[in-house]
Amino acid sequence: MNRSFAILRAMAHRPSGAIGLALVLCHLVLAVISPWIVPFDYKEMNALQTLTGPSSEHWLGTDHLGRDVLTRVLLGGREALVITGIATPIALLWGGLLGVYLGLRGGWADEITLRLVDAFLALPGILPLLVLITVFGSGGEVLMPTLAFFFGIPVIRVARAAAHEVVARDFIAAARARGHRPVDIVRRELLPNVTDVLLVEGAMRWSWMLLGFSALSFLGFGVSPPRPDWGLMVSDARVYMSLAPWGVIAPVVALSSLIIGINLTADALAKTLGLDQSRAAVV
């Protein structure tokens, strides 16, 4: 716990870390309190006030159904943050553990798994997601494990590469000589030495998972109407871009600020831990 606070303090003293942490914290706080501070019901429609511009009543205008854009933007990140906030640690956990174990074991299992990972990474990123969601549905109970599975696959490569650097050290040879089981070596020797790499990788995967979730909503496979979501808002409002650009600009700015905040935080974390982010986030 003391080390975590020390890392956060060191990150906050970096300009990128201070800005990134502030943006992420702002979005998290808004996600929690937004149901109590929004000016309107997100489902409330007004046929007499469609595509109106910003005003004292509707600060960011209204959409094509007369719904308040500010209300929907404030609420639009809640489901994305919840689903990706749970799916990201799951992806990091299973992908990291498997990658570390393969880095220690080597042999045919490592080679076969790596070829399967390479085959998956050769596919367009969103294609396998669309296939599974089309078959099983787009509810949160499907989106969460689906995102956790597919975004955990690239983590295998990162964890495996980090483990290879540790496996070559003398204390791993000593642990093997003492007859320690592979599971014990992974738990006691490898994981403590690759945790920093996995933390940075997890921060990067979170931002990519948010983008993937928003892309699915934009395509109609994520959040279902009338629930607000930034990707869905952009999809609905893009037709009226020339008449009411605020309907697109507002959710794009909200999503972009969150992604920028996470990336700045990941960059500050990597520098604080003495890691090269470009190495820690190998795709």
Structure tokens at 265: 């935080």
The contacts of residue 140 (CB under 8 Å, 6+ apart) are 79, 82, 83
- Name the nearest CA neighbour of 125 among 162, 96, 150, 97: 150
Of all residues in the chain, the percent with pLDDT exceeding 90 is: 55
pTM over the 0.85 mark? yes
Secondary structure string (H, E, C) spanning the chain: CHHHHHHHHHHHCCHHHHHHHHHHHHHHHHHHHHHHHCCCCCCCCCCCCCCCCCCCCCCCCECCCCCEHHHHHHHHCHHHHHHHHHHHHHHHHHHHHHHHHHHHHCHHHHHHHHHHHHHHHCCCCCHHHHHHHHHHCCCHHHHHHHHHHHHHHHHHHHHHHHHHHHHCCHHHHHHHHCCCCHHHHHHHHHHHHHHHHHHHHHHHHHHHHHHHHHHHHHCCCCCCCCCCCHHHHHHHHHHHCCCCCHHHHHHHHHHHHHHHHHHHHHHHHHHHCCCCHHHHCCC
pLDDT reported for residue 180: 82
**CATH of region 2-280:** 1.10.3720.10
Backbone φ and ψ of 203, nearest 5°: -65, -40
pLDDT at residue number 33: 95
CB of 17 closer than 8 Å to CB of 11: yes
pLDDT at 277: 47
Give, in order, the Cα–Cα distances in Å from 236 to each of 34, 54, 69, 201, 250: 22, 18, 12, 33, 13
Low-confidence residues of the chain: pLDDT under 50: 277-283
